[in-house]
Amino acid sequence: MTNVTIIIRQPLERRPPIATLLNCLCKMGYRIVLICTEVQDKSKKQYEDNVNFKIITIPTYKLGIVNKIISWMMFRRKVFSFLKRNPEYYSKSILWIGSADAALALGKKLFKFNYIFHCFELYDAFPWYKRKLKKIMQNAKLNITPEDNRGAIFRSWYKLKETPITLPNKPFFHPQKRNLNIDNTIASQIIEKLKDKKIILYQGGIVKGRDVSQIAKAIEQIDDDWVLVLMGYTDRSRYLADLLKQYPKTVYIPPVPAPYHLQITSWARIGIVSYAFDDLNHVFCAPNKTWEYTGFGIPMLGNNVPGIMNDLKKYGSGEFINLQNDDVNEIIDAINRIDFNYNSYSKNTLTFYNSVDIYQIISHIIKEVDGKIAVSK
């Protein structure tokens, strides 16, 4: 195999693990095609010597059911039309399907190709997705998930012959240097005002299912050195607006595209990882942010879902708390423990970060799928 064709139905910048994959494959010397819906100029320039970009322009966000079906059909037609015109991108290649949306949009026609399916979520809260992904996984040469329990669950659900390989969402490049210069004007202005504060940072989707209101409440009750910063995408509910109104020491930074959001992350003293118990996908979460925090040696404050708690326990990289408890003293105590023993927690987070060699895992995946293709010929 000389080529790898990666297919996602999102902008590249919304899939940091795919950027990691690109970097590893470039280092391995593969010819790469990335089919996606958008790539920023900075990213194009970074990969211009190694990656051929095929941009498929389609509507992808905030679509109703009918428009989503139309969008999927457009994506399917354009992807297979491109592959038909360029057979070298699949005849001596593996297709790396980098999202469930892409796989489902491509449909049964995908089964004619050699492909890896990289599934980031469990979708147990979305019965149609869960049902349709069964055939996608059963026909893949290899399946990948970002977390061990998710792989085991998929194997049980779909009666797979093998457990999907775990490829953690660790970035390939990480600056690993605190207090970086910030390119984004809005974020830079906000951090400049907060640079003398102890920043507790939450980055990611700011929605009710990842509730941080108890942490915001706790921050109001400790000394004025502390501030809560929320950075990321929000939904159309009033959740964020209500938080900012109720808790004056909570500040919002609009989303900054990856990997440039790490410039803001580098200013945090503590990082938050929080998920609800409302579905298995959240219980066995695999957040990118754990790797982003730990690369800087930033200790974490997490809630007690197993996907977070187990890592915090194993490495001593932070404290876990019960966010359903109305009494915020547990949160305040956890923040103080991290603050008073900061060097120890910080050292442990770096141990966590260095526990995974992402390049080695991707190299193993490529060798394994090469062997499967050779056997099937």
Model confidence pLDDT, tens digit, residues 10-37 = 999 889 999 999 999 999 999 999 999 9
Average pLDDT, the chain: 93
Pick the CATH number of 185-353 from 3.40.50.2000, 3.30.70.980, 3.40.50.300, 3.90.1170.10: 3.40.50.2000
Topology agreement, domain 3-170+357-376 and domain 185-353:
yes
Q: Does the pLDDT value for residue 207 go beyond 90?
A: no
Across the range 104-122, mean pLDDT stands at: 96
Across the range 185-213, mean pLDDT stands at: 92
CATH topology of domain 3-170+357-376: Rossmann fold (3.40.50)
Task: Round to whole Å and give the CA distance between 289 and 203.
Answer: 7
Q: What percent of the chain shows pLDDT beyond 70?
A: 98
Name the DSSP letter for residue 12: G
Across the range 262-270, mean pLDDT stands at: 98
Q: What percent of the chain shows pLDDT beyond 90?
A: 78
Q: Does the pLDDT value for residue 377 go beyond 70?
A: no
pLDDT of res. 234: 87
Q: For 66-102, b where at least 16 C-beta lie within 10 A, e where not — what string?
A: eebeebbeebbebbbebbeeeeebbeebbbbbbbbbb
Domains of the chain, by residue range, sit at: 3-170+357-376, 185-353
Task: Round to whole Å and give the CA distance between 199 and 226.
Answer: 6
Q: Does the pLDDT value for residue 351 go beyond 70?
A: yes
- Label residue 1 by pLDDT band (50, 70, 90): low
- Label residue 258 by pLDDT band (50, 70, 90): confident
Name the DSSP letter for residue 271: E
pLDDT of res. 235: 80
pLDDT of res. 93: 82
- Label residue 102 by pLDDT band (50, 70, 90): very high
Q: Is the pTM of this model over 0.85?
A: yes
- In whole angstroms, what separates CA 3 from the centre of its chain? 25
Backbone torsions φ then ψ of 111, nearest 5 degrees: -65, -15
- Label residue 105 by pLDDT band (50, 70, 90): very high
